[in-house]
Structure formats: structure tokens, C-alpha cells
Homo-oligomer: A and B are copies of this chain.
Amino acid sequence: MYPESPLIVTFAAGTSGAWFIDSVETVAGAGLPWAPRLAVIEGGAPTPPSLWRLAGTTSNLRYTMAAERAAMGAVTEGLGRAAATRAALIPITKSPAWWAMAQDERRAVFEEQSRHIRIGMEAMPAVARRLHHCRDLGGEFDFLTWFEFAPEHEPAFDRMLASLRATPEWRYVLRETDIRLTRADA
């Protein structure tokens, strides 16, 4: 599900890039300005001039257990599917209280209380997903999650987001922006 080595990915919002930015909605905390396009640059290649840029890295699993990974693997689709012409970029920052918890405390909120993995799986395989971590990079967000799906699956994606935002885990979300995009060649 993840490459063996962390992959750095930069999301640069400006006037170039493979994705049109359809909307930028502030869900919580400080927002981000809209720009016409978003470039998704992998591996630290140069980024075009941009209004804002956010960078994160793929990493090892932090909460997912082996049985959950196996269940997810059976329904996981990769990025870049021809039919997946819609995308969402959702940057999130969690609170100091979240990060101060021990591993078992965070896991309990994440899955036993919030069923984060189970809710996410309900939108799979229609929705493909890649998580990027940026807290340890000193970024202004903790996570950047990128989702890709066909236009007809956007309602399922929206239902998944609504379910997640109603969980105990989301009480720890201080900042969240919901950016929707359409592939420029679609």
C-alpha cells in the first residue's frame, strides 16, 4: 500500500499543474486561499511558482494492524486510474492533546471509538487514498490526505467525510481544509 521508502510529495497551488481547483472550503481553523490549479510533485522535484505549497511524506503505518491491512489491501485501488478524474486534498492539524497521548490512547480514539479504518473502507475501492505526514517536517499541517475518485462516487466520498467528522477523533482536529479538484485533461 505504501512504497518501501518515504516519498516526499509537494502540493503547489498556482497557475500550473495537472489539476483544476474547483473549491477550497475551510472546515476548521485558518483557511487556505483558492488558486486556479494544483501541481502534485513527487520526490522533491522543483515546484512551479505557487501561491501556497504544502509538502508531506508517505510513511509506515501508524495505527493499522495486520488484519486491517489485509482487509484494506483486498479493496485498495491505486492512484492514477483513468476514470478517477476528481480528487480531494484535505490538510489536517490535530491538537496538542492528540499528540500528547500514548500510542494505545491514540489508537483507541482512532479505531475502537471512531472506527476510522472501517469508515474509510466503506468508500473503497471507489475512493483511492494516499496519506502524507508533515508534522515532523515542521509543516503548518500534520497530515495531507489525497483522494481520487470518479465523479459518480463523490457522494460516497462526501458520506465518508461526514461520518469521519462526526467521530470522537475529530474532536482533536484543530484545522481542516477541504480542497476539491478536477483533472485538467478530463
* A contacts, CB < 8 Å to B: 4, 6, 8, 44, 57, 59-66, 68-69, 96, 99-107, 133, 135-138
Contact = CB atoms under 8 A, between A and B. Distances in A.
Nearest to A57: B136
Contact of A66 (B6, B62, B96, B105): B105
Contact of A137 (B63, B96, B100, B137): B137
Nearest to A68: B102
A144 to B, nearest CB: 13
9 contacts: A6-B135, A57-B136, A57-B138, A60-B99, A61-B103, A62-B103, A64-B103, A136-B136, A137-B137
B103 A6 contact: no
A4 B8 CA distance: 24
A102 B137 contact: no
Given A59-B135, A60-B106, 10 more contacts: A4-B96, A57-B138, A60-B135, A64-B102, A65-B102, A65-B103, A68-B102, A69-B102, A103-B107, A133-B136
A62 B103 CA distance: 6
Given A66-B105, A104-B66, A4 B99 contact: yes
A69 B100 CA distance: 11
Contacts of A99: 4, 60
Task: Please list the 6 inter-chain residue pairs (A to B) with the smallest Cβ-Cβ separation, ordered nearest first.
Answer: A65-B104, A66-B102, A57-B136, A60-B99, A4-B96, A69-B102
Contacts of A104: 65-66
Nearest to A43: B138
